[in-house]
Amino acid sequence: MTEATSDIKKGLAGVVVDVTSVSKVNPETNSLLYRGYPVQELAEHCSFEQVAYLLWNGELPTDAELAEFTASERSQRALDDNVKAAIDLLPTTSHPMDALRTAVSVIGANDSTAETNTPEANAVKAASLYAKLPAIVAYDQRRRHGLELVPPRDDLGYSANFLFMTFGEEADPVVVDAFDVSMILYAEHSFNASTFTARVITSTLSDLYSAVTGAIGALKGALHGGANEAVMHVFDEIGTADQASAWLDAALAEKRKIMGFGHRVYKNGDSRVPTMLKALERLAEHYGKPEILELYTTLEADMVARKDIKPNLDYPSGPAYNLIGFDTATFTPLFVAARIVGWTAHIAEQLASNALIRPLSEYVGPDERHVPTD
Ligand SMILES: CC(=O)SCCNC(=O)CCNC(=O)[C@H](O)C(C)(C)COP(=O)(O)OP(=O)(O)OC[C@H]1O[C@@H](n2cnc3c(N)ncnc32)[C@H](O)[C@@H]1OP(=O)(O)O
Ligand SMILES: O=C([O-])CC(=O)C(=O)O
């Protein structure tokens, strides 16, 4: 064995591998721009549908463009029979991210245009996945409780309909708004691990569905999107705010990573957290559950005091999704439903200026040797 001699960038940390015009993550100013617009402004003034249009088209829609865009989304919301049948085959013990990955695979395998890798064909596929993912996520949560599929309502916006299909009743506007904010904040984040996975797969000239299923696999991990689910397990483990300090002492002594804290790019706090925290506060008030905020602020203060590591977006969104009533294992599929927009914007950008992504490694295994022949 030999030691590495070159300057290895483990985890590609700090390496700029390409340009993008989809979003700008700036840790110095703690800002995030989607196509130039601050995400906080988009969360305050726009719907998730408007943001999806922006990320795909580079500009916010006019009223007429938005009307056409939302009509198209509403017309494609229903769960296809073959996708439902595939989900029904899966055990209810499987992870919802596995069900979602399988559903996207089934949609791809049934799409006769799957291999057509033109910008136009991929835009149609992206819009179709964006419209269909809520029904998949909602149905998968319901079937785990022995409940029937709820068909979509085309008189409701994206988020209101998503919640209607999941819970079978219209959600309060406070809840719809908080959920919509979470979708906007989760929609895009430059070259994160799942988006990069999608770009690697796309760079081989594979199809959009393969890139999206690969991205779902990357997002599932607890160091990435799976952290929103993991945060809720932490909250459940801790129980109440007065237990947070002792829990954190023990967890840090065991060298555990505290889920929902830290970030590869933001070292001084995640730009999206203040906006999502406000949404969580509105939900806690709406549901009359101030204790979840108490635990949130106590654990955050302890973690900052002990490690100086700040929360990322998964920290407020986990408890927010819990208050709304989603199963903990459904949290990361909600992230997928939002991030499909960012992934597919990056797939288009990668294809428009493609180079096969294939880095180098330095070999540190045994020196050359030969198979014994006697
Ligand atoms: C939407 C998203 O995907 S955001 C990310 C969601 N993921 C999580 O919340 C999982 C928990 N967080 C982490 O594991 C990390 O912070 C990551 C993976 C997100 C980023 O990691 P990196 O950029 O590689 O940071 P790195 O691992 O170098 O951390 C630097 C130091 O801080 C520590 N650290 C970083 N995050 C945490 C954490 N959450 N808990 C405890 N210690 C942490 C590391 O152990 C390391 O300490 P050391 O120098 O003593 O070894
Ligand atoms: O950017 C990252 O590495 C992870 C993240 O916050 C995201 O994907 O939203």
Nearest to 183 by CA among 103, 272, 312, 95: 272
Ligand in closest contact with the CA of 227: 1
Q: pLDDT, tens digit, for every residue of 347-357?
A: 999 999 999 99
CB atoms within 10 A of CB 311: 23
Q: pLDDT, tens digit, for every residue of 52-102?
A: 999 999 999 999 999 999 999 999 999 999 999 999 999 999 999 999 999
Half-sphere exposure of 70 (CA within 13 A, CB side): 19
Q: pLDDT, tens digit, for every residue of 18-51?
A: 999 999 999 998 899 999 999 999 999 999 999 9
Burial class of 200 by CB neighbour count within 10 A (0 to 12, 13 to 18, 19+): buried
Ligand 1 nearest-atom number relative to CA 224: 3
CA of 191 to the centre of ligand 2 (A): 8
Question: Which whole number is the average pLDDT over 212-224?
Answer: 98
Please list every protein residue whose CB sits less than 6 Å from any atom of ligand 2: 189, 192, 263-265, 312-313
Architecture of domain 18-223+329-352: Orthogonal Bundle (1.10)
Q: How far is CA 301 from the centre of its chain?
A: 26
Separation of alpha carbons 108 and 152, rounded Å: 22
Q: pLDDT, tens digit, for every residue of 331-351?
A: 999 999 999 999 999 999 999
Separation of alpha carbons 201 and 188, rounded Å: 18
Would the ipTM clear 0.90, i.e. be above it? yes
Reported confidence tier of residue 374, pLDDT bands at 50, 70, 90:
confident
Q: Is the CB of 264 inside a 6 Å radius of any atom of ligand 1? A: yes
Per-domain residue ranges of the chain: 18-223+329-352, 227-323
So what's the pLDDT on residue 1? Answer: 59
Separation of alpha carbons 317 and 163, rounded Å: 16
Q: Is the CB of 263 inside a 6 Å radius of any atom of ligand 1? A: yes
User: Quick one: fold of 227-323?
Assistant: Cytochrome p450-Terp; domain 2 (1.10.230)
- Record the tokens describing residue 123, joined without a space: 């835009």
Separation of alpha carbons 343 and 196, rounded Å: 9
Q: Ligand 2, atom 4: nearest CA belongs to which residue? A: 192
The vertex-360 CA angle with 355 and 362, nearest 5°, equals 180
Separation of alpha carbons 61 and 51, rounded Å: 9
Q: pLDDT, tens digit, for every residue of 166-192?
A: 999 999 999 999 999 999 999 999 999
Mapped onto helix, strand or coil, the DSSP state of residue 59 is coil
Question: Which whole number is the average pLDDT over 204-217?
Answer: 98
Would you say the pTM of this structure is higher than 0.95? yes
Residue 3 pLDDT greater than 80, yes or no? no
- Mutation choice for ligand 2 from 313, 332, 339, CB with most ligand atoms inside 8 A: 313
What would you measure as the largest C-alpha separation in the chain, in angstroms?
Answer: 80
Residues belonging to the active site: 263, 314
